Amino acid sequence: MPLNAIDKELLKTIADLHNIPSGAFNIRKDGQGVDRRSSAHIQVIPKTDRPGINIFVSPGTKNEAVHIPVLITLSGIVDVVYNTIEIGEGADVTVVAGCGIHNPGSKKAQHDGIHEIIVRKGARMKYVEKHYGEGDGTGERVLNPKTILVMEMDSVVEMELTQIKGVDSTVRDTKAKLAERASLTIIERLMTHGHQEAVSDMLIELEGENCSAKVISRSVAKDDSKQVFRPVMLAKASAKGHVECDSIIMNRARISSSPAISAEHPDAQLTHEAAIGKIAEEQLMKLETLGLSEKEAEDVILRGFLQ
């Protein structure tokens, strides 16, 4: 599949790709699967009953990655896909997802991605998802990801969920269930500006003995944007969990953060914390004394906060 300049720039931004990747991948563009490849250990197969793909990672697969980016470059598209990902027992792989929207027109461009992920016994997965919007058109750029994660015993998952900029509206829905000794870390990074709105709902269910989960959310809200965070950690066994939400608020933005923890077992250990505030004046002054303008100092602080 030949990639034009817009395609290449979107791929670089959301998946750190400068061209067609090596190994297993699936590239979806403007509502169609346009290029796909399986590897010896990772099968990428189109669904036959609805839009989307099935990904099967063979047991024991090590040090491999599969890229599944989505590109939207036309106005007026509402694209819905259903992807199923199964990480075989004892595997250790990286899944790079994400969507980039370039909306050149006046109509809404939207992508709704539903990912069902099963991580088998003793497997490890790093899941990287980046969302980004751009384009000179006036049409909205909308992204609504839904992730349903099932972790079997002794599995380990690290999820990096990032919304870079340019997304007018997003509702992120993440659900996870953990079996015995499973370990989950979710790191969410988000920036909104203008009149953008972002909602993040999470439900993490700790079902197995000695499983653990950590949710860390970092966000920046500028201008008149709105953000809502509703992470919930539920322990049904002797398990550990922590939820942490930190936000920087600027201008006339609004942020609502309500982390919740709930225990249904006497040996559960759950904690949460949330903080919303502005950039500290002393941080700005320190950088300005080094020769940075106020805007440059602000950008440095925000980049560091979202790392």
Q: Which of 114-118, 271-275, 302-306 has the lowest mean pLDDT?
A: 302-306
pLDDT of residue 1: 57
Q: Tell me how far CA of residue 204 lies from CA of 48, 176, 177, 218, in angstroms.
A: 31, 5, 6, 18
Whether residue 304 is predicted with pLDDT greater than 90 in this model: the reply is no
Tens digit of each residue's pLDDT (9 = 90 or more) over 257-270: 999 999 999 999 99
Question: Is the model's pLDDT at 65 over the cut of 80?
Answer: yes
Q: What is the pLDDT at residue 279? A: 85
Mean pLDDT for the stretch of residues 150-167: 96
Q: Which residues 6+ apart lie within 8 Å of 116 measured at CB?
A: 82, 83, 84, 85, 148, 150
Does residue 58 sit in helix, strand or coil? coil
Question: Are residues 105 and 72 in contact, defined by beta-carbon separation less than 8 angstroms?
Answer: no
The pLDDT score that the predictor gives to residue 297 is 79
Q: Give the Cα separation of 236 and 218 in Å (integer).
A: 27
> What mean pLDDT value characterizes the chain?
93
Residue 198 has pLDDT above 60, yes or no: yes
143, 110 Cβ separation under 8 angstroms = yes
Mean pLDDT in residue range 154-181: 96
Write the Ramachandran bin of 52: left for phi over 0, alpha for psi from -120 to 50, otherwise beta: left
CB contact at 8 A, 249 and 242: no
Which tokens is 292 given? 């940075």
**Angle, helix 281-288 to helix 294-306, in steps of 10 degrees:** 120
Helical segments of 49-186, H only? none
Which segment of 18-22, 181-185, 228-232, 270-274 scores lowest on mean pLDDT? 18-22
Determine the residue type at 119.
V
Percent of the chain with pLDDT over 70: 99
Q: Which residue has the higher pLDDT, 22 or 137?
A: 137
Give the pLDDT score at 298.
Answer: 79
| Confidence bin at 282 (pLDDT 50/70/90) | confident
- CA separation for the pair 129, 168 (Å, rounded): 17
Write down the pTM of the prediction.
0.93
